[in-house]
A = this chain, B = another copy of it.
Amino acid sequence: MVIRLADLAGRVGADLRGDGDLEITGVNGLREARAGDLSFLANPRYRPLVAATRASAVIVARDFEGDAPCALLVADHPDAAFARASEAFARPEPPLPPEGVHPSAVVDPSATVAAGARVGPGCVVEAGAVIGEGTVLRAQVYVGHEAVVGPACLLHPQVVIREHCRLGARVILHPGVVIGSDGFGYTADDRGVRTKVPQRGIVDIGDDVEIGAGTTVDRARFGATRILRGAKIDNLVQIAHNVVIGEDAVIVAQAGIAGSTVLGSRVIMAAQSGVAGHLEVGDDSVVMARGGVIKDIPPKSQVMGFPAVPQKEAKRAMVAAARLPEMREALQDLRRRVEALEPSRG
């Protein structure tokens, strides 16, 4: 696809500085762009890359100063403008499986596949399950007994949803997601031999939730593990039994939430963070990368470290820790000076 730069400027709502007849054939990052590419500068740390880019044009903010070796498109929000430009050049979305059930899929006669739903090759849908209107099971998906998948969901290849679990509308599950595996619960006898505690509950997922590749969400011991409306979960995250994830919460890759913990609305758990079991993290709180929460966190907190403490406190402790070797020297120096002052004991 080829689009004139002046036409692109119009499409993305930017002011043109340079040759509007330039032919743009794709989009790319500043570093990787070649002749014909449109790039963008949103994060100020990449500003030095503009001077060296091989892009034919770059989208910049209104306050951009300095030279560029190419045409510029000046926009209020370079990031959003670039997103619109990317759409113009994007590969088409892959075609969906045909409506109805692929001949290679195994759908129990007692399951309900709504009008306009698409059950792709190799899928298995068990007895009593419901697949909502317009929902897509791309391929090799498993939907267990009496599980309910709402309308307009997109289940990528090799998703597993175990029995009785429920998904709302417009839920997106990436490849390898597991919904409804047993919670991790045992009783131990005197010799340490463990007996499984039945995990009888379900997982209940609200509308507009998206869950990343390889993430696991355990079913509740009783009742439900809940992921509320709008929550976004990244790859390889572990959600234990009876957890509640609040509305519009964000959980980044490789984080883990232990059993029965409740995350409030809009909580952000950064990458590789964790929360111990039976805790509450208040609305709008942020746990920084690698943070490990071991007690309740009030709303609107920002915590870091392990054990996680408020960000200010954690940074003061880090600064102090960095000065430790220097403190040791100061202490030794002082000891010598005190000894010099003390009456000799000889």
In the bound complex, residues from chain B placing their C-beta under 8 Å from that of A316 are: 325
In the bound complex, residues from chain B placing their C-beta under 8 Å from that of A192 are: 248, 265-266, 284
Chain A: interface residue count, which band?
Answer: 35 or more
Contact of A94 (CB < 8 Å), options: B145, B197, B276, B322: B145
Is the pair B106, A121 in contact by a Cβ cutoff of 8 Å?
yes
Interface: A51 (CB within 8 A): no
Contact surface of A with B, Cβ cutoff 8 Å: 27-29, 32, 43, 45, 80, 83, 86-87, 90-91, 94-95, 102, 104, 106, 120-122, 124, 126-127, 139-140, 142, 144-146, 156-158, 160, 162-164, 172, 174-176, 178, 181-182, 184, 186-188, 191-194, 196-198, 200, 210, 212-214, 216, 218, 221-223, 230, 232, 234-236, 238, 240, 242, 248, 250, 252-254, 256, 258, 260, 265-266, 271-272, 274, 276, 278, 284, 289-290, 292, 294, 306-307, 316-318, 320-325, 327-328, 330-331, 334-335, 337-338, 341-342
Sample of 29 A–B contacts (CB below 8 Å) = A29-B223, A80-B187, A83-B198, A86-B222, A91-B163, A91-B200, A94-B127, A94-B146, A104-B106, A106-B121, A126-B139, A142-B158, A144-B157, A158-B160, A181-B235, A193-B248, A214-B216, A216-B235, A234-B238, A238-B253, A240-B253, A274-B290, A307-B318, A321-B321, A323-B328, A327-B328, A330-B335, A331-B334, A341-B342
Closest 10 CB pairs of A and B: A94-B145, A320-B324, A181-B213, A160-B175, A106-B121, A142-B157, A213-B216, A178-B213, A90-B200, A192-B266
